[in-house]
């Protein structure tokens, strides 16, 4: 049974989409079947895989509002083990349309029932808001992955999110957990970053992930080439960091790579896997 992670932070620009794209890619490159669901009407994850806007295509909107099956909406990415449910700008109106429906917070959870069986990991890229779309993700998820920058007010921003987590736990999804807090665009040379990290460590303990994602220009460039950084520049620091994150997540969840020794040996000549 797969694990479902909502990648969430109500703040924009903290690295949710970058993490969704590259963590999913890194897990899928370990031959673990993964599904990435783009729940943000801005559709940055969809664009980041090189899928242009296409009003004819089924999207997360059709899944949430019209009960389309995930399998019908899934797009095959360049990485064989990774499929994507694309977003579309229709999703902006989904909240209003869902308001008239029963069980509006459970739409994604219902839609994911089958996908959970078929994938090791399902990642949900959330919009920068604690709205009905994000609520659907929190109700559907087993755990939250919270990307954030090491800023002075980081903890303040996160307290609203943790409050939401508690509300969702008590009302809709008792087993929802915090998987981890991930520091993104991280520069450990600054005193500020070190202080904030120490505070976060004191507050979150083991929930503060050991892996940090450095600021790396390759991560920002890759989406305009329609590729995860792991394909665009597999030797970059950004790619390395997301491979480390994938391994940390795998270890924490007791999941092993399905790459065979032969595959690894063959690819090691081209790929920076070891």
Ligand X SMILES: Nc1ncnc2c1ncn2[C@@H]1O[C@H](COP(=O)(O)OP(=O)(O)O)[C@@H](O)[C@H]1O
The binding site for ligand X (CB under 6 A) comprises 12-18, 44, 128, 184-185, 213, 215-216, 219-220, 238
- In this complex, which beta carbon is closest to ligand X, that of residue 29 or of residue 219? 219
Q: Which runs of E-coded beta strand occur in 70-127?
A: 75-76, 82-85, 121-125
**Min dist. Cβ of residue 187 to ligand X (A):** 10
- Provide the CA 65 distance to its chain's centre, in angstroms: 22
User: Interface with Mg ion includes 41 (CB under 5 A)?
Assistant: no
Does 149 bind Mg ion (CB under 5 A)? Our answer is no
- Contact (Cβ atoms closer than 8 angstroms) between residue 180 and residue 43: no
17 versus 77: smaller Cβ distance to ligand X: 17
- Nearest CA to 121 among 250, 19, 261, 260? 250
Q: Which of 9, 17, 60, 136 binds Mg ion (CB under 5 A)?
A: 17
Q: If binding is defined by CB under 5 A, does position 16 make contact with Mg ion?
A: yes
Q: Which does 13 bind (CB under 5 to 8 A by kind): Mg ion, ligand X, none?
A: ligand X
Residue 268 binds which entry of Mg ion, ligand X, none, CB below 5-8 Å type-dependent = none
**Short-list 152, 91, 153, CA closest to 127:** 91
CB of 1 to Mg ion, least distance (A): 27
Q: How far is the CB of 45 from Mg ion (least distance, A)?
A: 7
CB 229 to Mg ion: min, Å: 15
Footprint of Mg ion on residues 43-102 (CB under 5 A)?
Answer: 44
Residue 227: strand, helix, or coil: coil
Q: Does residue 227 belong to the site contacting Mg ion (CB under 5 A)?
A: no
Q: Is 36 in the site for Mg ion (CB under 5 A)?
A: no
CA 116 distance to own-chain centroid: 15
* SS3 at position 129: coil
CA distances from 248 to 153, 177, 185, 254, 257 (A): 26, 17, 18, 10, 12
Nearest approach, Cβ of 258 to ligand X (angstroms)? 27
CA distances to 56, 67, 121, 132 from 116, in Å: 26, 17, 8, 21
Decide whether 44 or 136 has the Cβ nearer to Mg ion: 44
Q: Provide the minimum distance between the beta carbon of 7 and ligand X in the complex, in angstroms, as a whole number.
A: 8
Kindly tell me which of 33 and 223 has the beta carbon lying closer to ligand X.
223
Q: What's the rounded Cα separation, in Å, for the pair 53 and 57?
A: 9
Chain residues binding Mg ion by CB under 5 A are: 16-17, 44
């Amino acid at each position: 049974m797969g694990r479902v992670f909502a990648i969430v932070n109500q703040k924009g620009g903290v690295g949710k989409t970058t993490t969704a794209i590259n963590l999913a890619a890194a897990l899928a490159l370990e031959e673990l079947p993964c599904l990435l669901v783009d729940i943000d009407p801005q559709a940055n994850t969809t664009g980041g895989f090189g899928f242009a806007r296409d009003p004819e295509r089924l999207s997360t909107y059709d899944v949430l509002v019209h009960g389309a099956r995930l399998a019908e909406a899934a797009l095959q990415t360049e990485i064989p083990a990774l499929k994507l449910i694309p977003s579309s700008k229709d999703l902006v109106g989904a909240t209003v349309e869902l308001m008239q429906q029963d069980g509006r917070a459970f739409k994604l959870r219902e839609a994911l029932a089958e996908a959970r069986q078929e994938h090791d990991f399902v990642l949900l890229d959330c919009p920068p808001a604690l709205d009905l779309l994000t609520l659907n993700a929190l109700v559907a998820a087993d755990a939250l992955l919270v990307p954030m920058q090491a800023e002075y007010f980081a903890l303040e921003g996160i307290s609203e999110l943790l409050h939401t987590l508690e509300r969702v736990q008590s009302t809709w999804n008792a087993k929802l957990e915090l998987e981890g807090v991930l520091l993104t665009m991280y520069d450990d040379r600054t005193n500020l970053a070190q202080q904030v990290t120490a505070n976060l460590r004191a507050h979150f303990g083991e929930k503060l992930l050991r892996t940090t994602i450095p600021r790396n220009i390759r991560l920002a460039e890759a989406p305009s080439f329609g590729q995860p950084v792991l394909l665009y520049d597999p030797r970059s620091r950004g790619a390395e960091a997301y491979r480390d994150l994938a391994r940390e997540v795998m270890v924490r969840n007791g999941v092993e790579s399905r790459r065979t020794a032969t595959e690894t040996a063959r690819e090691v000549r081209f790929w920076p896997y070891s």
